[in-house]
Structure formats: C-alpha cells, structure tokens
Structure 1
Amino acid sequence: MKKIAVFCSANNNIDPIFAEKTKELGEWIGKNSYTLVNGGCDLGLMESTAQAVHENGGRVIGVVPSKIEKNGHISKFLDVEIPCEDLSDRKQLMIVQSDIIIALPGGLGTLDEIFTVAASATIGYTNKKVILYNINGFWDDLLVMLEGMEKSKFMREPVSEHIVNAKTFEELCNLIENS
C-alpha cells in the first residue's frame, strides 16, 4: 500500500476551489486504499484532505509537532499520530514515512517542504520527487522561476528530475499510480 505525503496549507481563509480539489484528492486516496501522511493539523487543506481520506476508507498518519498539540489543533481524523518536536522533525518524518510526495497549494511551510525534498534528492539523500498539484495554476510562477534557474545553469540537473508539475487531477492520479 502506497503512503502519500501531502504538504499543504493549514489556513482556512483561502479560495474554496482549493478545498474542493483537495477533498477530491483525499476521496481518491481513500477509495484506492492508500495511506495519507500529513502534518496532523485540523486546519485548512490539511484537515480537508485527512477527513476525505478517512471517510473513504483510507488511513491517515499525522506527524504532529508539539506546538500543534499544545495549541489543541490535532486532527480528529488521524489513525496514527507520530509526535515530533518541531517543523523540521515533522518534515523529515513525513519524507521518511512516504513513498510519494505531493505539494498542494500552500505558503512558506509548503515551500520549505518542497525545497527540502528537491535539495535532498540533488545530493542523494533521497530519490523522491515532489509532485506539484497545480490547482488553478497556483504553482506557475514558481515553475517559471525554477526553469529560469535551470536555464541559467544554477541547477546541475533538469528541475523535472526533482519537481513534477501535475496540471490536472487526472495527471496527478496517473503520476501516483505510476510511481
């Protein structure tokens, strides 16, 4: 059974289309009997994904930093809770616990997670890629920046070796199934 780490926003004040697409992904993960690995928080896209996976028969592993626990924001949809100290610990545990890594729209934390995976892969700490689920073109500007870095020879390998763009839900599902 594949374990899919999902990095994403824990913010509730975002365009509802992101929650809709996230729920669709969570339903698909659950119905296909995959396991979701997430940050264990009960807010934003993190919670909507966990709820959809849980309600559709999948398992949810939450890697929960002590501050999230202290603030009472642990998702009630976790089947397994892995406590950790901070965001660095959470990120590393999520990478280790997963077979596939997806980044949904998010903020600074999500960017940190994407670049940790990609940078680690460039020097051989992991062979995992990050699949950007590019809902409504959310990641387009980032991809342009990365392509510019590649063209300017600031990357030794093509960015696509470490970061993959899924423009549609169908592309995303195909990438998961063929990983």
Structure 2
Amino acid sequence: MKIGIFCSANDNIDAEYFKRTEELGQWAAQNGHVIVFGGCNMGLMECVSKAAKSNKGMTIGVVPTKVEERGKVSSWLDVHIPCSDLTDRKQLLMLQSDVFVALPGGIGTLDEIFTVVASATIGYHNKPLVLYNINGFWDSMIAMLDDLTEKGMIRGQWREHIKVATNLEEVRLNCVK
C-alpha cells in the first residue's frame, strides 16, 4: 500500500508528534508499505521518511520547485518526483497514494486534507483519509466538521471520507480499504 502522508515541516513542535510519526514510518516500512510525502527535509516530513528508510522501507517524495530552490529536499528519498507548485504536488500525491494519513500540521496540511476529501466527495476517488489525532491535535477541526454538519453545510457524513485514529493500531485499521 502507498500511504500518502500530510504533515508539518516545522521542527519546533511537540516531541510526541515526532515520536508517533517515527512509529508510523517504522510500521509502514516493516509491513511493506511505501511512504509518499512532500519530500521536504524538515519537521515531521523528514521524520517519517527517515524512519521508513531506516527500516528498509521505500519513500516517494513529491517535491515542488520552491523546496528544491531552497535546498530543503529530504535525503531519505527513493523516488524524487519534481513538480512546479503545491497544486501539482497535491494532484501527484493523490495519484501516487492508496490511502492518506494526516499527522499534525498547519495550513499546508489542511489544504491537502480538504483537497483530498473534496475530491472524494464528488467522486474523483474512493481513497480513505485518516486523521492521526495525536494528543487531541485534530479535536478542534473535528468539532468544526461536526458543527458544519449540524448546520447543514456538509452533505452526508464527513466521517464517510475522514476516519479518526488516536493510536497506530487505529491508523492501521483505518488504512484498510
């Protein structure tokens, strides 16, 4: 399975996020799964790719030109897919991945989550997305989605497209199609 990872490229974040991200990368590699990510050498992106490669796993980095220009490409890549911008990156990540896991992240991660889910809701794909809710990181977004549903702004149930996991076992179970 190719697991698309959305996550922070920041280094100054809670150490628990790094610990759980490393466990995810190790698990993926040890179970023959491929990590597909944004190809950056910072934050949780670097952590998951290093963990996968250190456990004999495979990684695919979809790397925008701006990341390359700034010298921020991960050295833990097996496959380097260049792209021109973030829109291209999201499209290529969706094409390359069988399932998506959203770790803690910021605006870019939110953009990736909602692009993937919006595409699924109108039928472009049927790939699951798992929010890895480490220490309640995604609680406020989950509450927002519930509120939008209650207000009639989301057709159907958002949980049909977004699964929530609080530990690695739940991530594993929710990655299965």
Shorter-chain TM-score category? over 0.9
SS of 2:60 mapped into structure 1: strand
Q: Which letter maps to 1:110?
A: T
Deviation of 1:172 (Å): 0.8
Partner residue in 1 for 2:6: 7
Distance in 2 between the 1:45 and 1:67 partners?
A: 19
Matches within 5 A, 1:10-159: 10-159=9-158
Q: C-alpha distance in 2, partners of 1:13/1:91?
A: 25
- What runs of 5+ residues in structure 1 fail to find an aligned partner? none
**Deviations, residues 143-170 of structure 1 (Å, cap 9, x unaligned):** 0100111111111110111111011221
Shift of 1:117: 0.7
Q: Equivalent residue of 2:77, what SS?
A: coil
CA RMSD of aligned residues (A): 0.8
State the alpha-carbon separation in 1 of the partners of residues 159 and 3 from structure 2: 19
- 1-side partners of 2:173 and 2:119: how far apart? 24
**In the aligned structure 1, how far is the partner of 2:120 from the partner of 2:94?**
11
TM, length-normalised to structure 1: 0.97
Runs of at least 4 residues of structure 1 off by over 6 A? none
For the 8 Å contact 1:117–1:129, the answer to whether it is kept is no
Identify unmatched segments of 5+ residues in structure 2.
none
Q: How many residues align?
A: 177
Q: Percent same amino acid at aligned positions? A: 53
